[in-house]
Amino acid sequence: MTKTLLYGTALTSLAIGLALPALAQDTGTLDQRKAEEAQRRPPAYSPYVGRDFPTRPFFGDTHLHTSFSMDAGAFGARIAPRDAYRFARGEEITSNTGQPVKLSRPLDFLVVADHSDNMGFFPDLFAGKPNLLADPTGRQWYDMIQSGKGADAAMAIIVAFSHATFPKDLMYFPGTPAYHSAWQDTIDAAEEYNAPGRFTAFIGFEWTSNTGGNNLHRNVIFRDNGDKASQVEPFTVYPPYGSDNPAELWKWMQAYETKTGGNVLAIAHNGNLSNGLMFPVVEAFGKKLDSEYAETRAKWERLYEATQTKGTGEAHPFLSPNDEFAAFEIWDKGNLDGSVAKTKEMLEFEYARSAYKNGLKLEKELGTNPYTFGLVGSSDAHTGLAAMEEDNFFGKTVPQEPSPHRMMEAFINNPKTGVKVMDWEVSASGYAAVWSRENTRESLWDAMERKETYATTGPRMIVRFFGGWDFVQQDAQDRLPARIGYGKGVPMGGDLSAAPGGKAPTFLVAALKDPIGANLDRYQIVKGWLDADGSLHEKVYDVAWSGGRKPGGDGKLPPVGNTVDEPNATWTNTIGAPELIAVWEDPEFDATQPAFYYGRVIEIPTPRWTAYDGKRFGVKPLPGATMTVTERAYTSPIWYRPKP
């Protein structure tokens, strides 16, 4: 293993490259004419002339709910899409519980992804929309609300849903004028706040397959503007209009593209509450996995939500016992409603790393790897507020907006199964980082499509990850590693194949701390591979780290330390490093074995949101509550495929 550590390089080095035409896939359009022209042209004074690759990551949230989502509205969320966009682009607004709130820095993009089933019902009911009042039951509920019996109305609504007696005419289904109106309003809000070059407001929705309480949700994101998105209505779950089978969603996505000439992609929800269903290896919805399944899934599900408020789904300590950082914000007690407790056998089919590994095997069997997804993080907040910083965490739902009570209560509590998740276990996570050339719908979406993305648990560290065959130690000393990275390799989300004779893959990795965040502990590369016997393996390599630490006899790097003062919710950047950069070569490479590699960047310990709350409100945490966090980022992998 080779390592290079450099400190003190200009903080802009990762985000800037020199004037080389894009040589890596999908990072530009280099044709013969342009190449010849570049060769003929004398070097310009400006080293950035002609640069054609992403120079900065754009940070955003691909999964935010507003009052248009049925459950968010029921919890009291009154922030609608327009206010959600205003907040994301940096404005100060008032939260659902009346608290002023503002992001530390604006986000670059936002996807309002409201649940497609019953989208817009709550705001319409309370606004007394004519379509709802025309129905006797709708009228009755509205009158109850107006006469102060809102709680009773809520109960009546719940009972109507749960007993399948909800009046058909009140249902917000595709094809109804009311539903169309809600969808159009969603589109209009995105159109209104989309500002190419400054802030991107994506059109999107969440398809919410939840049968049996097992979470198989997907967020669908449009590349297109409203002219195309408004030609359809979102795919829903409830039959006969929709389905809970992801394969049907993929058909809907294909139909959309065929009809409009537009583009959509899907991001699978964190699978940790799917109870073993998110990443099947044998069959899905009663059908044996086949090449069509693998190809279709790989085509549409370009990204995976590795971290969000309901925990992190990168790895699990049971599956990765040698990974001391795997036990991070884990939710492994049951499914989404706690109706079925988790068993260890389910875990393999819920976490990204095991899916990557199983994907290698499935590719051998089916010819296509269905699990070649990239990674993002996003909030899944149901407040309209993409506020995922530890010291600025506005919760997952309205009851979890800042209050002296929110550390004390249960988020999931099913006495029948014993599944209980406390509110303090809700994570202030995450965001999506996208290496895009421009802050536009098209450019960001294209970067998502090619998986040039990474997940963060909240901080905005800048992370580069390039793979190739020719990176050398000196490359890690260049102050513009992106120029080297794109010139000699592929970025995160890319592919390597057919290793040149005698060569092992090399990786140029670099990370910068969040400018207002904590220093970095280490940069790791996670490798998984399939051996000749058909066995799957994984290994985590420390490739760059802060300080003069040396791995111990067990190969483990000593901990970076901890400066967190929990009672006062403070820490210092007296440990760790502001940046890490290295070139690493796989020391155990076998050119005949398919593999994947992805980067994981770990921050030094910092106060968790629970510590900030404890200090602010003067409340003591419940026993066992976690008060510190090691924030992190996960890059999309680079896959290696042997010669066919």
Partner 1 sequence: MRRHACLARVFMSLSLATAVTLAARAGSACGYHDDVTMARGILNWAYPDALHVLGSISSAVADRRLPAPSPAGAPPDLFGARYRETVKALEQLAKALGAAGEARPLSFSLVLIEPMLWTRFEFGEKRMRLRVHATGPERDELVLVSGEVVIDEIASGRLTIGKAHRLGLMRLYGPAVRQAQFLLAYAWIGQRPLAAATPEHTQTGSRSQQGPAPLAAATAGADIRRQSNCWGERRTACPLDH
Q: Which of residues 267-296 bind partner 1 (CB under 8 A)?
A: 273
Q: Pairing between strand 109-112 and 56-64?
A: parallel
User: Least separation, in Å, of the C-beta of 567 and partner 1?
Assistant: 14
Beta partners for residue 111, in sequence order: 202
Helix (H) or strand (E) holding 311, with range, is strand 311-312
The smaller minimum CB distance to partner 1, of residues 23 and 171, is found at 171
- What tokens were used for 593? 């074995």
CB 245, min distance to partner 1, A: 12
Q: Pick one of 115, 218, 342, 488: the residue that binds partner 1 (CB under 8 A).
A: 115
Please report, as residue ranges, which positions from 443 to 462 form the binding site for partner 1 (by CB under 8 A).
Answer: none
What is the Cβ-side half-sphere exposure of residue 424, based on CA atoms within 13 angstroms? Answer: 22
Which residues in the 467-506 window bind partner 1 by CB under 8 A? none
**Cβ closer to partner 1: 538 or 613?**
613
Instruction: Give CA–CA dist 194/191, Å, rounded.
Output: 5
Based on CB atoms, which residue is closest to partner 1, 5 or 154? 154
- Min dist. Cβ of residue 623 to partner 1 (A): 7
Listed in sequence order, the residues at least 6 apart from 523 whose beta carbon sits closer than 8 Å to its beta carbon are 509, 510, 511, 542, 543, 544, 545, 580, 582, 599, 600, 601, 602
Contact track, partner 1, 212-231, x by CB under 8 A: xx-x----------------
Q: CB of 82: closest distance to partner 1 in angstroms?
A: 17
**Residues 6+ away with beta carbon under 8 Å from 582:** 2, 3, 4, 5, 476, 508, 509, 510, 523, 543, 544
Instruction: Find, among 375, 390, 221, 209, the residue nearest to 307 by Cα.
Output: 375
Query: How far is the CA of 144 from the CAs of 128, 135, 336, 465, 504, in angstroms?
Result: 12, 14, 31, 57, 70
Smallest gap from residue 133 Cβ to partner 1 (A)? 15
Residue among 548 and 623 whose Cβ is closer to partner 1: 623
What is the smallest separation between the CB atom of 154 and partner 1, expressed in angstroms? 4
Quote the least distance from Cβ 454 to partner 1, whole Å: 26
Decide: is 238 part of the binding site for partner 1 (CB under 8 A).
yes
Nearest distance, CB of residue 113 and partner 1, angstroms: 14
Stretch that binds partner 1, among 206-214, 434-442, 510-518, 537-545 (CB under 8 A): 206-214
Restricted to residues 41-80, the positions that interact with partner 1 (CB under 8 A) are: 70-71, 73-78
Residue from 442, 504, 619, 641 binding partner 1 (CB under 8 A): 619
Nearest CB to partner 1, comparing residues 413 and 474: 413
What is d(CA 387, CA 104) in angstroms, rounded to the nearest whole number? 9
Number of residues that make up the chain: 644
List CB contacts of 256: < 8 A, sequence separation 6 or more. Answer: 232, 262, 264
Residues 156-185 that bind partner 1 (CB under 8 A): 157-158, 161-164, 166, 171, 173
Is there binding between residue 621 and partner 1 (CB under 8 A)? yes
Within 367-478, residue ranges assigned H as helices are: 441-449
- DSSP string for 556-574: PPPP-----BTTTTB--TT
CA–CA distance, 85 with 79 (Å, rounded to integer): 10
Residue 82 as a binder of partner 1 (CB under 8 A): the answer is no
612 touches partner 1 (CB under 8 A): no
Report the nearest approach of partner 1 to the CB of residue 132 (Å).
13
What residues are paired with 629 via a beta bridge?
Answer: 606
Peptide bond into 196 cis (omega under 30): no
396 binds partner 1 (CB under 8 A): yes
CB of 614 to partner 1, least distance (A): 10
In this complex, which beta carbon is closest to partner 1, that of residue 350 or of residue 542?
350
Alpha carbons 144 and 290: distance in angstroms, whole number: 53
Residue number with CB closer to partner 1 (131 or 563): 131
The single residue among 126, 235, 545, 571 that binds partner 1, judged by CB under 8 A, is: 126
- Using CB under 8 A, which residues numbered 354 to 373 contact partner 1? none
Establish if 616 lies at the interface with partner 1 (CB under 8 A).
Answer: yes
Q: Does 206 bind partner 1 (CB under 8 A)?
A: no
Binders of partner 1 among residues 337 to 356 (CB under 8 A) are: 337-339
Among 11, 155, 195, 516, binds partner 1 (CB under 8 A): 155
Nearer of residues 10 and 410 to partner 1, judged by Cβ: 410
Asked if residue 618 binds partner 1 (CB under 8 A), the reply is yes
Instruction: Tell which one of 398, 480, 577, 580 touches partner 1 (CB under 8 A).
Output: 398
Site string for partner 1, 401-440 (x = CB under 8 A): xxxxx-xxxxxxxxxx----x-------------------
Minimum CB separation from partner 1 for residue 306, in Å? Answer: 20
DSSP states along 455-511: EESS---EEEEEEES---GGGGG-S-HHHHHHHHEEETT-EEESPPTT---EEEEEE
Q: In what order do the strands lie in the sheet with 579-585?
A: 489-491, 462-468, 506-512, 579-585
Beta carbons of 467 and 490 less than 8 angstroms apart: yes
Query: Could you tell me the maximum CA-CA distance found in the chain, to the nearest angstrom?
Result: 79
CB of 423 vs partner 1, minimal distance in Å = 8
Q: Is 622 in the site for partner 1 (CB under 8 A)?
A: yes
Residue 247 as a binder of partner 1 (CB under 8 A): the answer is no
**Residues in contact with partner 1, total (CB under 8 A)?**
88
Report the 10 Å Cβ neighbour count for 226: 18
Q: Please tell me the chain's helix, strand, coil percentages from 3-state DSSP, rounded to the nearest 5.
A: 25, 25, 50
Question: How near is the Cβ of 395 to partner 1 at its closest, in Å?
Answer: 11
Among 24, 103, 113, 153, binds partner 1 (CB under 8 A): 153
Nearer CB in complex with partner 1: 194/236: 236
Q: Does 105 bind partner 1 (CB under 8 A)?
A: no
